[in-house]
Amino acid sequence: MANQSTVTEFLLLGFSSDPSEQFLYFVIFLSIYLIALVGNILIIIAVALNYRLHTPMYFFLGNLSLSDICYISATIPKSIAASLSDDKRISFAGCVAQVFLVVNFVGSELALLTIMAYDRYVAICHPLQYELIMNWDACIQMTAASWIISPIHSLLQTIITFRLDFCGSNIIGQYFCDVPQLLKISCTDPKLNQILIFAIGVILNSFCGGFIFLSYGYIFSAVLRIPSVQGRYKAFSTCTPHLTVFSLFMSTVVFSYMRPKALSSITMDLLSAVLYNVLPPLLNPVIYSFRNKDLQEAVLKIPKIIRSLLA
C-alpha cells in the first residue's frame, strides 16, 4: 500500500451536480441519518436502562443498533457535507478509511445476525437449557468475537483493494468509496482482486447464511410441533423481526456486490448502495420495535427513568 500511484484524492460524484438538487439530497440524507441515529440510540438506551430487557436477545439487539450507528455514520455524514459544500473530494487516506469501515460494519452486522439466529434456536428448540447455554460469559464472548473478526476481514479486503494502482481517473461514481467502484477505475487488471473478494464473500455469506437457514429450519420444525395456536404464534413472533432484518440485509448486500454486469449502471449502482448502506440501519429499529411491546414500553419509559436518575 506504500507504493501508490499519482492519485492523491478521489472525486465522489454522488447523485447530482445541480446545486438545487444538491440541497434536496442534503435535506433527505440528513433526515434519514437523524432518524436512523435516534432510532438506534433509543434502542441502546432502552436496553441499557430497563432491567427487563437485560436478556441475551436484547443484548445482541443493542450491539446490532451500535453497529448500525457506526455503519451509517461511515458514509452519510461525508455525503451530507459534500452536498452542502459542493466539495466532492475525498483524500486517499479518507477513502481507505471509508472502505475499511464500511466492510467492517457490514461484517459485524452479518456476524451479529448469525449470533441472534443461534440465540432464537436455543430459546425455541432447547428452552430448558437456554439459561445454561446462553449464559452471560457465552454472550459476551460471541459478541466480542464478532467485533474482533470483522476488522480482520475488513483489513484483508482493504489491503486487497488498495494494492492496485490508481493512475488514471480518480472519479468514483458513488457517494462513498465503494470497492466495486474502485476496481472499475484502477489502471491495473483487477481480476485477481475480484476473484479474491468474491471468494471471501461467498465463503462468509455461505457460512453465516447457511447457519441462519439451518437454525430456522430447526426452529420452524420445533414450532410446528407446538400444540396450541397461541403458542406457535408467540414463538414465531420472536423470530419474525430477526428473519425480516436478515432478509433485508442479505438481499441488499448480495444485489449490490454480486449482481451481473448487465444490471450495472450509474443509477443502479447508486440505488443499490442506498439499499444496503441506508435501509438496514434505518429500518432495523422500526422492524424490531413494531410488534415488540416490551421494547415499545421500554422506549416510552426512557424520559421517566432519566428523570429519576437525575433527581
- What whole-number distance in Å separates Cα of residue 170 and Cα of residue 182? 9
User: Would you say 115 and 60 are in contact if contact means Cβ atoms under 8 Å apart?
Assistant: yes
Lowest-confidence segment of 49-58, 91-100, 233-242 by average pLDDT: 233-242
Asked, for residue 1, whether it belongs to a domain, the answer is no
What is the percentage of the chain residues whose pLDDT exceeds 90? 28
Number of domains the chain is built from: 1
CATH number at residue 275: 1.20.1070.10
User: Would you say 113 and 246 are in contact if contact means Cβ atoms under 8 Å apart?
Assistant: yes
- What whole-number distance in Å separates Cα of residue 113 and Cα of residue 212? 8
Asked, for residue 2, whether it belongs to a domain, the answer is no
**Does residue 95 have a pLDDT over 70?**
yes
pLDDT of 232 reads: 77
pLDDT of 275 reads: 79
Asked, for residue 46, whether it belongs to a domain, the answer is yes
Q: Give me the domain span that covers residue 212.
A: 9-310
Asked, for residue 58, whether it belongs to a domain, the answer is yes
Residues 6+ apart with CB under 8 A from 288: 43, 61, 241, 245, 295
pLDDT of 1 reads: 44
Asked, for residue 4, whether it belongs to a domain, the answer is no
Asked, for residue 3, whether it belongs to a domain, the answer is no
Q: Is the pTM of this model over 0.75?
A: yes
